[in-house]
Homo-oligomer: A and B are copies of this chain.
Amino acid sequence: MKDKRIGFVGLGRMGGNMARCLHGKGYNVAAVFDIDGKVATGLAAEIGATAYTKLADLTTNADIILTVVTNDEAMDAIFFGGDNLLTGAEGRLFINCATLTPSVHQKLDEAARKVGAQCLEACMASSIPQARNGELFLMIGGKEALFESTKPLLDDMSNALHYVGSAGKASQVKALVNMVMNCNTAALAEGLGIGDALGLDLGMLCKVFSQTGANSRVLETDSEDMIQRDHDCYFSAEHAAKDSGIALALAAAQGINAPLAQATFDQYTKLTSMGKGGLDKSGIAELTFQGRS
């Protein structure tokens, strides 16, 4: 698919590095857009693309368009705003990588079909280095045949590609992944915060956690950062609140009570309301260690 013109919309920590990755692998990353024009011109200069200030112009000048925006509202704006990506989009393929409310993907899928375009959801469960190195964990939703025909490109972005079902299903899986991850993170922050207050050796405590039923991926990735207060952002507290909120809405729609997800959402929302939403998700430890907040 290296003969296709690739477009990127949303050039933040993830999108920008995915564009760099595909460029480095010989793809024709031709067109870029970001709500911050300077970010777009900077990346365009770096990888030899053209930065557009109108979304419709980007659509004109790209065959496959990856969108990597922040949330439902941003997604709505780029596809349904006055200037939007669906204008003149016949024949285009959109690969949408943001974690969204699943129904947004379903709505978009229909709108794209009406103008002769196609969509895939490509939900990511990875972070910046994986974006840069083409090692994303990707969950794909949409038509299976379209997934198959797009596989060469997706494979170049990913080292773990999962087709999970029709449009919206990948977002559902992604929301549940992040919901469980966020709960485990919030629980770990409580365990370490209490241990710290009791005067326990936190290195010993982490070692014991790692060898017992308390072990988890977030213990590996976040415990040291919680202890050191190193909250440089890989996955922000604000995003954690958003994704837990999406999962809670899915639960509510099914009549399921999810008190752990709720407590986690409340903690991340609290952190965000304290102006600390830009901290990494490990920043939740700021709420559970004595004397930190």
Contacts and interface: CB of A to CB of B under 8 A. Distances in A.
Interface of A: 125-126, 137, 139, 160, 162, 164-165, 169, 172-173, 176-181, 183-184, 186-188, 190-191, 193-195, 197-198, 200-201, 204-205, 207-209, 211-218, 221, 247, 250-251, 254-264, 266-267, 287-288, 290
B263 A190 contact: no
27 contacts: A125-B211, A126-B212, A137-B212, A162-B208, A172-B195, A173-B205, A177-B213, A177-B214, A178-B214, A179-B187, A180-B191, A180-B216, A183-B186, A183-B190, A184-B187, A184-B214, A184-B216, A186-B259, A187-B260, A187-B261, A190-B251, A194-B251, A212-B217, A254-B290, A259-B266, A259-B267, A263-B263
B176 A194 contact: yes
B288 A258 contact: yes
Contact of A262 (B194, B195, B263): B263
A290 to B, nearest CB: 6
B260 A186 contact: yes
Contact of A190 (B173, B208, B260): B260
A64 to B, nearest CB: 25
A200 B264 CA distance: 23
Residues of A contacting B: mostly: helix
A207 B201 CA distance: 34
Contacts of A218: 213
B254 A208 contact: no
Contact of A137 (B200, B204, B211, B262): B211
Contacts of A257: 287-288
A141 B46 CA distance: 59
A256 B288 CA distance: 6
Contacts of A264: 187, 260
A177 B254 contact: no
B260 A260 contact: yes
